[in-house]
Amino acid sequence: MESQGFKVTRHYLGLETAWRAEYAQGKGGRVLGINSEMDALPGIGHGCGHNLIAIGGVGVALALKAVLQANPKIPGNIILLGTPAEETGGGKVILLDRGGYNEMDACIMCHPAPGPRHSASTGSTTALQRIVVEYYGHSAHAGAAPWEGTNALDAAFLAYSSISMLRQQIKPDHRVHGVIEGKHWQANVIPDYAKMSWMARAPTYAELASFVDRLRNCLSAAALATGCKVEFAVDQPYYDLHQNPVLVQDFADIVGSRYGVVTTPDGSSASTDFGNVSYALPAFHPAYAIPTEPNGGNHTPGFARAAKTQAAHDATMTVTKALALTGYRVLTDDHFFNGVRASFDAWKSLQI
């Protein structure tokens, strides 16, 4: 980005792996934010296509800089954020809390997914919260004196079983999934430590909050039943994604008429920290299809292979062009942007 004439700030807002690239022209213009996600999945690689998200954000920023330079009388400011730790860690939530989005009038990005060729979706995503629970017991010889032990692994398995039974009583659009971790486990030693990482999802943040309370009851009850001590670490939630309807319609018109991409309002039961951004300012985050192998959707090795293909890059560039055109209207069309802002303000007034 520096080589393309952008002013770059490394380690942005104290986040070691974040950065900001800015290009400004004139005074008094609007500020368009763009995101490039930059993380991958351990053991899988780019199984969620963040390599494509990153180049999509860069492409939008470069396109808009070129347009501004070709029209020097148009004021405008482009801010591209390199945002890490979307999969776990909430990089955008951290940047949002530290003021990284305060200057922006709107923010856009895109995300690849499996689906029919030349298609994109403009629906919402689910709210998410990560819970890490640790159980502390007391070790003992499993054969000679098991009664002297307090089994932390038993607590984890009780919690897992309780949550599995809870699934029967949750709504079909809610999700909960987790893994058990430990250290130095041996079959002849009562485990004195166990750790669990859980993710809870619900269609909206309001629904998520009550769902997380039910999960915590299951986790706490397991500690009580086994006599273990328990500690919780609850991450910042990811909000559901609010797609600005004016931005949605403009993108759909452009990508359909110019590039033959069919858009649908379908949402996803996946989650993104961009949801928090969409609660703070007008935002848009389409998902677009890339060719994938059977059962090779997001978060699989098959999707990582698909994200490397020329076809995936071609689809990314198509969406990048359409997003750049929508971003151009944000910067230059007062009537259009007033509609974007009015729609956001009306929606925001309904949120309690």
- Tokens 């070129």, residue? 66
Residue ranges in the chain whose pLDDT is less than 70: 352
> Which tokens hold the place of 258?
């110019």
| CB 51, CB 307: distance < 8 Å | yes
Give the amino acid at 38. M
First to last CA, the chain: 40
> Which tokens hold the place of 5?
């004439």
Could you tell me which of 91, 110, 140 has the C-alpha nearest to residue 50?
Answer: 110
Tell me, what's the pLDDT at 352?
Answer: 61
Tell me, what's the pLDDT at 322?
Answer: 98
> Which tokens hold the place of 134?
């640790």
> What does the alpha-carbon distance between residue 277 and residue 68 come to, in Å, rounded to a whole number?
25
Could you tell me which of 32, 35, 47 has the C-alpha nearest to residue 276?
Answer: 35
pTM: 0.91
> Which element (helix H / strand E) includes 211?
helix 205-226
Domains of the chain: 2-124+241-349 (3.40.630.10), 127-234 (3.30.70.360)
Cα dist from 313 to 6, 253, 259, 327, whole Å: 24, 22, 15, 20
Tell me, what's the pLDDT at 220?
Answer: 98
> What does the alpha-carbon distance between residue 148 and residue 152 come to, in Å, rounded to a whole number?
13
> What does the alpha-carbon distance between residue 211 and residue 249 come to, in Å, rounded to a whole number?
33
> What does the alpha-carbon distance between residue 19 and residue 32 come to, in Å, rounded to a whole number?
16
> What does the alpha-carbon distance between residue 308 and residue 205 come to, in Å, rounded to a whole number?
34
The phi, psi pair for 69, rounded to 5°, reads -65, -35
> Which tokens hold the place of 272?
């993104």
Where residue 89 falls (left for φ over 0; alpha for ψ -120 to 50; beta otherwise) is left
Segments of 229-343 assigned E as strands: 229-234, 262-264, 283-284, 287-289
